[in-house]
Amino acid sequence: MRHVSGMRYLIRKYSLMKYAILILCIIDMVLLGAVFRVGQSRADQSNDPALPEHRYGAPSVPVMVLGTGDGQDGNSTGKEEKNVQDVVKIAITFDDGPHPVYTEKLLDGLKKRGVHATFFVTGKSAEAYPELVKREQEEGHVIGNHTYSHLQLTKGNRRQFKEELQKTNQIIKGITGCDTSFVRPPYGAWDKSLETELNMIPVLWNVDPLDWCSDDADCITRNIIAKVKENSIILMHDQYPSTLEAAFRVIDELQKKGYTFVTVEEILFD
Protein backbone atom coordinates (compact mmCIF):
# COMPACT_ATOMS: atom_id res chain seq x y z
CA MET A 1 0.00 0.00 0.00
CA ARG A 2 2.77 2.22 0.88
CA HIS A 3 4.36 1.53 -2.54
CA VAL A 4 1.05 2.30 -4.31
CA SER A 5 0.59 5.45 -2.30
CA GLY A 6 4.14 6.47 -3.18
CA MET A 7 3.46 6.01 -6.89
CA ARG A 8 0.23 8.06 -6.66
CA TYR A 9 2.11 10.75 -4.87
CA LEU A 10 4.74 10.83 -7.62
CA ILE A 11 2.11 10.89 -10.35
CA ARG A 12 0.20 13.70 -8.62
CA LYS A 13 3.43 15.59 -8.04
CA TYR A 14 4.44 15.14 -11.66
CA SER A 15 1.02 16.36 -12.84
CA LEU A 16 1.25 19.46 -10.67
CA MET A 17 4.75 20.15 -11.98
CA LYS A 18 3.51 19.71 -15.52
CA TYR A 19 0.74 22.28 -14.96
CA ALA A 20 3.18 24.62 -13.27
CA ILE A 21 5.63 24.35 -16.19
CA LEU A 22 2.80 24.86 -18.65
CA ILE A 23 1.60 28.00 -16.81
CA LEU A 24 5.18 29.30 -16.61
CA CYS A 25 5.61 28.71 -20.34
CA ILE A 26 2.40 30.63 -21.10
CA ILE A 27 3.48 33.54 -18.87
CA ASP A 28 6.89 33.49 -20.49
CA MET A 29 5.42 33.58 -24.02
CA VAL A 30 3.10 36.44 -23.09
CA LEU A 31 5.98 38.42 -21.65
CA LEU A 32 8.22 37.66 -24.62
CA GLY A 33 5.50 38.72 -27.03
CA ALA A 34 4.99 42.03 -25.25
CA VAL A 35 8.72 42.78 -25.24
CA PHE A 36 8.91 41.91 -28.94
CA ARG A 37 6.01 44.27 -29.82
CA VAL A 38 7.51 47.18 -27.87
CA GLY A 39 10.87 46.60 -29.51
CA GLN A 40 9.29 46.42 -32.94
CA SER A 41 7.38 49.64 -32.37
CA ARG A 42 10.48 51.51 -31.23
CA ALA A 43 12.44 50.22 -34.21
CA ASP A 44 9.71 51.49 -36.57
CA GLN A 45 9.76 54.95 -35.07
CA SER A 46 13.53 55.27 -35.04
CA ASN A 47 13.76 54.16 -38.68
CA ASP A 48 11.10 56.63 -39.84
CA PRO A 49 11.47 60.04 -38.24
CA ALA A 50 8.45 61.30 -40.17
CA LEU A 51 6.18 58.70 -38.62
CA PRO A 52 5.08 60.67 -35.54
CA GLU A 53 4.16 63.63 -37.79
CA HIS A 54 2.00 61.50 -40.06
CA ARG A 55 0.53 59.68 -37.11
CA TYR A 56 -0.48 62.76 -35.15
CA GLY A 57 -1.49 64.90 -38.08
CA ALA A 58 -0.84 68.40 -36.85
CA PRO A 59 2.66 68.97 -38.25
CA SER A 60 1.62 67.70 -41.66
CA VAL A 61 -1.14 70.32 -42.03
CA PRO A 62 1.13 73.19 -43.18
CA VAL A 63 2.57 70.92 -45.85
CA MET A 64 -0.93 70.38 -47.22
CA VAL A 65 -1.68 74.11 -47.16
CA LEU A 66 1.54 74.87 -49.03
CA GLY A 67 0.65 72.31 -51.67
CA THR A 68 -2.71 73.97 -52.23
CA GLY A 69 -1.12 77.41 -52.38
CA ASP A 70 1.20 76.27 -55.17
CA GLY A 71 -1.82 75.27 -57.21
CA GLN A 72 -0.41 71.74 -57.60
CA ASP A 73 -3.67 70.07 -56.75
CA GLY A 74 -5.37 71.74 -59.72
CA ASN A 75 -8.34 73.06 -57.77
CA SER A 76 -10.02 76.39 -58.56
CA THR A 77 -8.35 78.24 -55.67
CA GLY A 78 -4.90 77.39 -56.99
CA LYS A 79 -5.82 78.58 -60.49
CA GLU A 80 -7.22 81.87 -59.20
CA GLU A 81 -4.02 82.53 -57.24
CA LYS A 82 -1.96 81.81 -60.31
CA ASN A 83 -3.92 84.32 -62.37
CA VAL A 84 -3.52 86.99 -59.70
CA GLN A 85 0.22 86.33 -59.63
CA ASP A 86 0.42 86.72 -63.40
CA VAL A 87 -0.42 90.44 -63.11
CA VAL A 88 2.82 92.42 -62.87
CA LYS A 89 1.88 95.31 -60.63
CA ILE A 90 3.47 98.70 -60.19
CA ALA A 91 2.36 101.87 -58.39
CA ILE A 92 2.92 105.47 -59.41
CA THR A 93 2.57 108.10 -56.70
CA PHE A 94 2.50 111.91 -56.78
CA ASP A 95 3.41 114.07 -53.80
CA ASP A 96 3.00 117.70 -52.75
CA GLY A 97 -0.19 118.47 -54.69
CA PRO A 98 -2.72 119.27 -55.70
CA HIS A 99 -1.28 121.86 -58.09
CA PRO A 100 -3.71 124.30 -59.77
CA VAL A 101 -2.30 123.63 -63.26
CA TYR A 102 -0.43 120.34 -63.39
CA THR A 103 -2.69 118.15 -61.28
CA GLU A 104 -5.58 118.73 -63.65
CA LYS A 105 -3.44 117.90 -66.71
CA LEU A 106 -2.09 114.83 -64.96
CA LEU A 107 -5.61 113.62 -64.14
CA ASP A 108 -6.60 114.07 -67.80
CA GLY A 109 -3.62 111.97 -68.94
CA LEU A 110 -4.19 109.24 -66.34
CA LYS A 111 -7.86 109.02 -67.30
CA LYS A 112 -6.96 108.67 -70.98
CA ARG A 113 -4.60 105.79 -70.13
CA GLY A 114 -6.95 104.10 -67.65
CA VAL A 115 -4.39 104.38 -64.85
CA HIS A 116 -5.09 104.81 -61.14
CA ALA A 117 -2.41 106.54 -59.07
CA THR A 118 -1.91 107.49 -55.43
CA PHE A 119 -1.77 111.18 -54.48
CA PHE A 120 -0.12 112.25 -51.23
CA VAL A 121 -1.51 115.72 -50.74
CA THR A 122 -0.51 118.39 -48.25
CA GLY A 123 -3.36 119.72 -46.11
CA LYS A 124 -2.50 123.25 -47.19
CA SER A 125 -2.84 122.51 -50.93
CA ALA A 126 -5.92 120.35 -50.39
CA GLU A 127 -7.57 123.27 -48.59
CA ALA A 128 -6.65 125.58 -51.47
CA TYR A 129 -7.85 123.25 -54.27
CA PRO A 130 -10.48 120.93 -52.81
CA GLU A 131 -12.15 120.38 -56.20
CA LEU A 132 -8.95 118.68 -57.43
CA VAL A 133 -8.84 116.34 -54.42
CA LYS A 134 -12.48 115.53 -55.03
CA ARG A 135 -11.76 114.80 -58.69
CA GLU A 136 -8.84 112.53 -57.73
CA GLN A 137 -11.21 110.52 -55.54
CA GLU A 138 -14.03 110.42 -58.08
CA GLU A 139 -11.71 109.10 -60.78
CA GLY A 140 -10.57 106.15 -58.65
CA HIS A 141 -7.24 107.40 -57.33
CA VAL A 142 -6.16 106.91 -53.72
CA ILE A 143 -5.50 109.94 -51.57
CA GLY A 144 -2.90 109.93 -48.80
CA ASN A 145 -1.64 112.38 -46.22
CA HIS A 146 1.63 114.34 -46.73
CA THR A 147 1.31 116.54 -43.58
CA TYR A 148 -0.25 120.00 -43.61
CA SER A 149 2.78 122.16 -44.45
CA HIS A 150 5.21 119.53 -45.79
CA LEU A 151 6.79 119.25 -42.38
CA GLN A 152 9.83 117.01 -41.90
CA LEU A 153 9.72 115.03 -38.66
CA THR A 154 12.68 115.79 -36.37
CA LYS A 155 13.50 114.98 -32.76
CA GLY A 156 12.04 118.27 -31.60
CA ASN A 157 8.75 118.51 -33.52
CA ARG A 158 6.98 115.17 -33.03
CA ARG A 159 3.93 116.78 -31.46
CA GLN A 160 3.55 119.33 -34.26
CA PHE A 161 4.11 116.61 -36.87
CA LYS A 162 1.35 114.48 -35.36
CA GLU A 163 -1.02 117.47 -35.20
CA GLU A 164 -0.33 118.25 -38.87
CA LEU A 165 -1.20 114.68 -39.84
CA GLN A 166 -4.42 114.79 -37.81
CA LYS A 167 -5.40 118.17 -39.26
CA THR A 168 -4.74 116.96 -42.82
CA ASN A 169 -6.76 113.80 -42.19
CA GLN A 170 -9.70 116.02 -41.21
CA ILE A 171 -9.29 118.20 -44.30
CA ILE A 172 -9.21 115.14 -46.60
CA LYS A 173 -12.25 113.66 -44.89
CA GLY A 174 -14.07 117.00 -45.18
CA ILE A 175 -13.54 116.95 -48.96
CA THR A 176 -13.95 113.26 -49.80
CA GLY A 177 -16.12 112.02 -46.92
CA CYS A 178 -13.59 109.23 -46.37
CA ASP A 179 -10.85 108.55 -43.85
CA THR A 180 -7.39 108.08 -45.27
CA SER A 181 -5.13 105.33 -43.95
CA PHE A 182 -1.95 106.19 -45.83
CA VAL A 183 0.75 108.68 -44.97
CA ARG A 184 3.86 109.60 -46.88
CA PRO A 185 6.16 111.32 -44.44
CA PRO A 186 8.08 114.18 -46.14
CA TYR A 187 11.71 113.11 -46.77
CA GLY A 188 10.82 109.65 -45.44
CA ALA A 189 11.32 110.72 -41.79
CA TRP A 190 8.96 108.61 -39.67
CA ASP A 191 8.34 107.43 -36.11
CA LYS A 192 6.92 103.90 -36.02
CA SER A 193 4.87 104.52 -32.87
CA LEU A 194 2.72 106.98 -34.85
CA GLU A 195 1.32 104.04 -36.83
CA THR A 196 -0.67 102.81 -33.82
CA GLU A 197 -1.29 106.27 -32.37
CA LEU A 198 -2.88 107.51 -35.61
CA ASN A 199 -3.90 104.17 -37.11
CA MET A 200 -2.03 105.06 -40.29
CA ILE A 201 0.27 103.21 -42.64
CA PRO A 202 3.46 104.87 -43.92
CA VAL A 203 4.08 104.46 -47.64
CA LEU A 204 7.67 104.97 -48.74
CA TRP A 205 9.04 104.34 -52.25
CA ASN A 206 11.74 102.35 -54.02
CA VAL A 207 12.07 104.25 -57.32
CA ASP A 208 13.02 107.91 -57.00
CA PRO A 209 13.84 109.60 -60.33
CA LEU A 210 14.51 112.96 -58.58
CA ASP A 211 11.99 114.61 -60.88
CA TRP A 212 11.98 117.75 -58.72
CA CYS A 213 15.58 118.58 -59.62
CA SER A 214 15.46 117.98 -63.38
CA ASP A 215 13.40 119.52 -66.19
CA ASP A 216 14.61 116.85 -68.60
CA ALA A 217 11.67 114.50 -69.21
CA ASP A 218 13.88 112.10 -71.19
CA CYS A 219 16.27 111.74 -68.31
CA ILE A 220 13.47 111.21 -65.76
CA THR A 221 11.83 108.59 -68.02
CA ARG A 222 15.08 106.65 -68.56
CA ASN A 223 15.83 106.78 -64.85
CA ILE A 224 12.48 105.22 -63.96
CA ILE A 225 12.51 102.58 -66.71
CA ALA A 226 16.01 101.47 -65.68
CA LYS A 227 15.08 100.98 -62.01
CA VAL A 228 11.53 99.74 -62.15
CA LYS A 229 10.50 96.15 -61.43
CA GLU A 230 7.45 94.26 -60.19
CA ASN A 231 5.83 95.90 -57.12
CA SER A 232 7.89 99.07 -57.43
CA ILE A 233 6.47 102.24 -55.91
CA ILE A 234 7.54 105.24 -57.99
CA LEU A 235 7.88 108.65 -56.35
CA MET A 236 7.01 111.72 -58.44
CA HIS A 237 5.59 115.20 -57.84
CA ASP A 238 2.61 116.66 -59.72
CA GLN A 239 4.28 120.06 -59.67
CA TYR A 240 6.27 120.23 -62.91
CA PRO A 241 5.53 119.90 -66.65
CA SER A 242 8.57 117.62 -67.09
CA THR A 243 7.18 115.24 -64.46
CA LEU A 244 3.88 114.95 -66.31
CA GLU A 245 5.60 114.29 -69.63
CA ALA A 246 7.86 111.67 -68.06
CA ALA A 247 4.96 110.04 -66.19
CA PHE A 248 2.94 109.61 -69.40
CA ARG A 249 5.92 108.17 -71.29
CA VAL A 250 6.70 105.76 -68.44
CA ILE A 251 3.07 104.61 -68.28
CA ASP A 252 2.87 104.09 -72.05
CA GLU A 253 6.13 102.17 -72.16
CA LEU A 254 5.50 99.99 -69.11
CA GLN A 255 1.92 99.19 -70.13
CA LYS A 256 3.33 97.91 -73.44
CA LYS A 257 5.73 95.72 -71.45
CA GLY A 258 2.78 94.22 -69.56
CA TYR A 259 2.84 96.16 -66.29
CA THR A 260 -0.45 97.03 -64.60
CA PHE A 261 -0.62 100.29 -62.66
CA VAL A 262 -2.34 99.96 -59.29
CA THR A 263 -2.78 102.07 -56.19
CA VAL A 264 -0.43 101.49 -53.25
CA GLU A 265 -2.65 99.26 -51.13
CA GLU A 266 -2.53 96.61 -53.85
CA ILE A 267 1.25 96.56 -53.62
CA LEU A 268 1.36 96.65 -49.81
CA PHE A 269 -1.34 94.09 -48.98
CA ASP A 270 -1.52 91.57 -51.84
Cβ nearer to Zn ion, comparing 168 with 254: 168
237 is catalytic: yes
Site string for Zn ion, 50-89 (x = CB under 5 A): ----------------------------------------
Report, in Å, the least distance between residue 49 CB and Zn ion: 57
Kindly name the residue from 141, 146, 237, 238 that is annotated as catalytic: 237
Residue closest to Zn ion (Cβ): 95
Site string for Zn ion, 170-209 (x = CB under 5 A): ----------------x-----------------------
Cβ nearer to Zn ion, comparing 95 with 245: 95
Report, in Å, the least distance between residue 184 CB and Zn ion: 7
Q: According to the binding rule CB under 5 A, does residue 211 interact with Zn ion?
A: no
In sequence order, the β-bridge partners of residue 260 are: 89
Residues 117-176 that bind Zn ion (CB under 5 A): none
95 is catalytic: yes
Cβ nearer to Zn ion, comparing 99 with 259: 99
Q: Which amino acid is at 217?
A: A
Q: According to the binding rule CB under 5 A, does residue 238 interact with Zn ion?
A: no
Residues near Zn ion (CB under 5 A): 95-96, 186
Catalytic residues, which ones?
A: 95, 237
